[in-house]
Structures are given as structure tokens and as C-alpha cells.
Structure 1
């Protein structure tokens, strides 16, 4: 009976051509436009040596930092060309666009200052993140007293693996970067299927809701069957879209396909559950009103994730309000794909994956809370 409920629900959803357009045809068409717009950017955007500034108040710390920084190469050319300068000189040269940014090194911290968002600035930010992560690990090992500090220093700063990681990040695909946000927005649109489920489960919203309320089945069983049906349908759609992006539009997603498929699955469950939650939490609003709320939320998340020419805002949020970035589903999804593509280390990816799993669990629990409280005076 449970399997029949799932099959029946898939058949019902397949008849909804409007939602099929927005969750399948629209991302494909928008991807085609993205392909026309960004297909030449990778050829134009081959990385040249980036000029940067170093503002230092700690000579030893700066020496270690520069050792790693200047060891990074791209096709035999150094990725960075740096010069030590005063803070005033750095600010002036950054304002005049003579340097892409500058690192400020103090005895307690290393920070990055940029005036715009772009490929060099993004790579500079990630290099700093990776460097700080590794140096923190070293400091912890030294503090434990179980290792030789000099040996650790040599292993880190002469490590070919570390240089390779920085080099991988420098093999930047601008086209892939933009498509990651499109993929995240497309996955976010699955909220429409979740919203449709909630609408069809409510007797005061649809005739389907009345019939489902009269079934001699537990409401939770029906809700789970509907969720699984919409997940199977949307995930199948997403795999076709992913195949079109990769094989037809020639978008490079990297080679970590297992993790990519997992992100698609977890993110789809999260956004489906979010759509159901919108429907359950606002039972007195009509379906179109709820869809408008969901679309508005999706567009806002996409904007803050850097999709609409707002990369500088996304960068500012990542630096100054990182929690806000973690609360943005579109940003979590696009960043996860970004991390899988560019970085060898998966530490930050695991954090994003944990946030997505957490959102999925919270949304499902809230849906259960709302659905078990639903009662009707009459049908």
C-alpha cells in the first residue's frame, strides 16, 4: 500500500506541467543563457601573476607566510608577486587598483583586504583560509609537546601537497563558478514540490486533501509517501539537468561525483521539506501566495549567494557575517559544489554538509509538529 501511494503521487505530480516547467525546463533554459554568456570567460581568464601587498609587523611570521605564498605556481609562473609596504601605501595602491589586495600580518593575526570581488581575490581569500587552518594545526601539535617544532615547520612550508592544493585552486573555471549558483537555485526551486504536497494534504486547500484525509491511513504515512514521491521525481529531474550541464553545456564539476550526488540528495530533501513547511505553517494562505513567498525567499537567497552580480556582497557576508551565509541554503549548496571542485581538503565541505543535514532534520521535525496538530471540524 505504501509503494502504491508513492507511485500514485508521482503520477499526480507528473501531470503538473507548470511545476515541471519551473523545476526542470526553466533551469535548462537559464543554463543555456549562462552558457552563451560565460563560455568564453575561461579562455579570457587565464590567471596572470597577481600583484599583492604585504603589510607586516611581525618579521618571522611574515617570512614563513611569504615562503608558502611565493612557492605557488601556475604553468611555471608564480601566482603572486608581492611587496612589503606600509599600511598607508597598501591602502593607496589598492584604491588605485595597482594591487589586487594586501595581507596584513600582525603577531596575533593575518587578514586580507580587497576592494572588489574577482578570481584573484577569491584565490587570495582561500589561500589565507588554508594557510591559517594548517598553521593552527601546527600550533596545536607544538602545544601538545609531542613533536619537534622545526620538523613540523619544514614539513609544512616545503610540502609539495600544500603547493599542489594552492595550484589546484588557481586552475579556476569562471564558467563553473557561475553554474554552481544556478545549480543551487535550481535545487532551491524544489520547494514548489514540497509546497504542492502540503497543499494536497490539507482538506481546506484542495479536493485531494479531502480525499487523503478520508483514507484509512495514518497522516504521517501519507506525508512520508508524498515526500518520497516528490524526492524521486525531483532528484531524477536534477540528474537530467546535471547531465545536460556537464555533457551538453560542458560545465566542469570536478571528479568527486559521489559527493556531488550526495549534496544533490541532501539539498533536495532540505528544500522539499522547506516547501512543505511553508505550506504547513501558512495554512490560511492560497497556493499562489505561498509560491510567491517561496520564490521571493529563493531569489533573496540567490542574491546573497552572489548569483546576480552580487559577489562582493557574498564575500563581505562570508568575512563579516559567516553565520548568515550558513543560514542561506543557496549559499550552502553552491559553496559545497565550489569546495568539491577547487579544494583538496574537504573539511569546510563537511561543515556545509552537516548544516544541510541539520536543516533537513529541523524542517522535517517542524512539519511533523504542524501536521500532527491539524484537525478539521468537518469535511
Structure 2
């Protein structure tokens, strides 16, 4: 009987073309736009040597930064050539397009100024983001006493290692990073199927809910069958989207495929359970209002996860408000994929899996609590 409920539920869900579009077709179309926008960012072959201004009030900090910047090479030739300038000279040369941009280096901060958007400017921005992020990580390691300063200077700020990790697709890919956030957002959209389950399980929300409530079957069995059916359908959708991203859009996800499939599975259960919980908590809202709430939450999570060009904000949150990053489902999913792609150690990945699993369990228990206490005067 349970298997029959699952099969019937899958048939019902397949008839909902609107949700099929938003959870399958929309991510694929958005992925096409991402591919057109970011496909050239990892190709340094199209870059000629470009001059970059350096405005400095901290010579020691500047020397280290310039050494790393000069290590960016294309076929043995430097991609960027630094020019030491005053701020007034840098502003004038930037206005005349004599430099791609200029870095202003002070004891407190490093900032970048550009006058246009192009591949050289984009790479300069990404380089600065990665440099600041890695430097903060190393300062934290030094403060903890887990490494020695000479180890960092030898292993990290060598001529090629840092830049290789920042720009070669085998170690760091700008395109892959943005697709990781897109994948996370697409998985987050699984909340829509969870909302549909909640809507169809409550008698005060739909006619389907009335029929399910008068069935001579345990409500927990019905809810579990609905969750399993939506999981199977959504997971299959997600695998198809992943195949399009990998084989059509040529996105590099690394080679840890079993772990990637695990991310999809755990994250799908978490987002489906989240949608069911939202549907039960806001039972008095109509379905469209709950969809709008879920989309708004998903977009906010995507923004703080760095999807809209907000990598600097994402890094600031990770450093200063790490708990906010931990409770962001989109950030947890995209970080898990990033860690599989970038890090050798799987410890951070498993920590994210524990958080995602915890959220899934909490969402399911709360949904069960809300559904269990629902009573109706009449049907």
C-alpha cells in the first residue's frame, strides 16, 4: 500500500507543469545565461599584458601583494605589470584607459578601482577577493598557533602556487564557483514540492487534503509517502540539471562524484522538509503567498552566499558572522561543492553535511508536530 501511495503521488506531481518549470527548466535556462556570462573568465589565454596601478602607503604589505600579482602568468609572460603611482596619477591614468585599474594599499585595507567591466577588470576583482580571503585564513592559522610563519611564507606566497589555486580550473574556477551557487539555489527551489505536499495533506488548504484526511490510513504514512515521492522526482530532476551543467555547459565539478551525489540527496531532503514546514506553519496563507515567501527566502540566501557577485559579503559573513553562514542552506550547499572541488581534506565537507542533516531532521520533526496537532471541527 505504501508503494502504491508513492507511485500515485509521483503521478500527481508530474501533472504540475508550473512547478516542473520552476524547479527544472528555470535553472537550466539560468545556467545558460551564467555560461554565456562567465565562460571566458577562466581563460587567461585571451589576456595580454595589462598595466595595473599601485597606490601604496604600506611598503611591506605592498611588496608581498605585488609579488603575488606578478606571479600571474600566461605562457610564461606576466598578465599584469604594476606601476607605482600617486593617487592623483592613478585616477588620471584610469580615466585615460592607460591602466586596467589600480589597487590602493593601506595598512588597514586593499581596495580596487576600475572604470569599466571587462575580463582584465573581472580577474583583478577575483584576484583581490581571493587574496584577502586567503590572507585572513592564514592570519587566523597564525593566531591559533597551528602553523609557523615560515611555513606560510614558503608554501603559500610562492611565485606560482597562490595564483595557480586562484585561477587554474583544476584548483579554482570562477565559472564553477558561480555555478555552485546556482546549483544550491536550484536545490533550494525544492521547497516548492514540499509546499505542495503540505498543501495537499491539510484539509483546510485543499480538496486533496480533505480526501487524504478521511482515508483509513495513518497520516504519518501518507506524509512519508508524499515526501519520498517528491524526493525521488526532485532528485531525478536535479541529476538531469547536473548532467546539463557538466556535459553541455562544461562546468568543472571535480571528480568526487559520490560525495556530490550525497550533497544533492541530503540537501534535497532538507529543502523539501523546509517547504513542508513553511506550508504547515503558514497554513492560513494561500499557496501563492507561501511560494512568494519561499522564493524571497531563497533569493536572500543566494545573495548572502555570493551568487549575485557578493563574494566579498560572503567572505565577511564567514569571518565575522560564521553562524549566519551555517544557517544559510544555499551557502551550506554551495560551500560543500566548493570544498569538494578545492580542498583535499573532507573534514569541512562533512561538517556541512552534519548541518544539512540536522536541518532536515529538525524540519521533519517540526512538520510532524504541526500536522499531528491539527484538528478539524468538520470536513
Secondary structure, aligned partner of 2:203: coil
Asked if 1:53 is matched to 2:49, the reply is no
Look up the match of 1:114: 112
Look up the match of 1:11: 11
Secondary structure, aligned partner of 1:6: helix
Look up the match of 2:118: none
Residue 119 of structure 1 and its aligned partner are, at CA, apart by 3.2
Q: Distance in 1 between matches of 2:175 and 2:150?
A: 42
Q: Distance in 1 between matches of 2:204 and 2:110?
A: 55
1:164-197 CA-to-partner distances (Å, cap 9, x unmatched) read: 4345369765554544443333222211110011
Look up the match of 1:270: 270
Residue 46 of structure 1 and its aligned partner are, at CA, apart by 4.3
Look up the match of 2:28: 28
1:77-130 CA-to-partner distances (Å, cap 9, x unmatched) read: 4465556677x5798589858465637464xxx743234783321232223322
Look up the match of 1:126: 130
Q: Is the 8 A contact 2:254 2:341 kept in 1?
A: yes
Q: Is the 8 A contact 1:197 1:226 kept in 2?
A: yes
1:230-288 CA-to-partner distances (Å, cap 9, x unmatched) read: 11110011101211222223333333323322222232222212211221011112223
Secondary structure, aligned partner of 1:114: strand
Q: Is the 8 A contact 1:189 1:298 kept in 2?
A: yes
Q: Quick one: structure 1 residues 204 and 65, their matched pair in 2 at CA, closer, same or farther if it must change by over 3 Å?
A: same
Q: Distance in 2 between matches of 1:168 and 1:77?
A: 16
Stretches of structure 1 lacking an aligned partner (at least 5 in a row): none
Residue 209 of structure 1 and its aligned partner are, at CA, apart by 1.9
Please report the RMSD computed on the Cα atoms of aligned residues, expressed in angstroms.
4.1
Q: Distance in 2 between matches of 1:226 and 1:304?
A: 31
Q: 2:311 aligns with which of 312, 315, 340?
A: 315
Look up the match of 1:241: 241
Q: Distance in 1 between matches of 2:251 and 2:231?
A: 25
Q: Distance in 2 between matches of 1:202 and 1:335?
A: 35
Secondary structure, aligned partner of 1:203: coil
Q: Is the 8 A contact 2:277 2:367 kept in 1?
A: yes
Look up the match of 2:187: 187
Larger displacement relative to structure 2 (319-328 or 19-28) = 319-328
Secondary structure, aligned partner of 1:285: coil
Q: Distance in 2 between matches of 1:344 and 1:55?
A: 36
Figure out how many residues of one structure are paired with residues of the other and give that number: 366
Q: Distance in 2 between matches of 1:304 and 1:153?
A: 32
Q: Distance in 2 between matches of 1:93 and 1:337?
A: 42
Secondary structure, aligned partner of 2:168: helix
Residue 206 of structure 1 and its aligned partner are, at CA, apart by 2.3
Structure-2-length-normalised TM-score: 0.76
Matches within 5 A, 1:311-350: 311=309, 314-322=310-318, 323=321, 327-341=327-341
1:201-233 CA-to-partner distances (Å, cap 9, x unmatched) read: 101122332233234544333323322221111
Larger displacement relative to structure 2 (327-336 or 232-241) = 327-336
Q: Distance in 2 between matches of 1:62 and 1:256?
A: 38
Asked if 1:200 is matched to 2:196, the reply is no
Q: Quick one: structure 1 residues 67 and 371, their matched pair in 2 at CA, closer, same or farther if it must change by over 3 Å?
A: same
Q: Distance in 2 between matches of 1:181 and 1:28?
A: 13
Look up the match of 2:117: none
Q: Quick one: structure 1 residues 213 and 334, their matched pair in 2 at CA, closer, same or farther if it must change by over 3 Å?
A: same
Residue 141 of structure 1 and its aligned partner are, at CA, apart by 3.8
Q: 2:141 aligns with which of 133, 137, 140?
A: 137
Q: Is the 8 A contact 1:73 1:167 kept in 2?
A: no
Secondary structure, aligned partner of 1:118: helix
Q: Is the 8 A contact 1:101 1:121 kept in 2?
A: no
Look up the match of 1:258: 258
Structure-1-length-normalised TM-score: 0.76
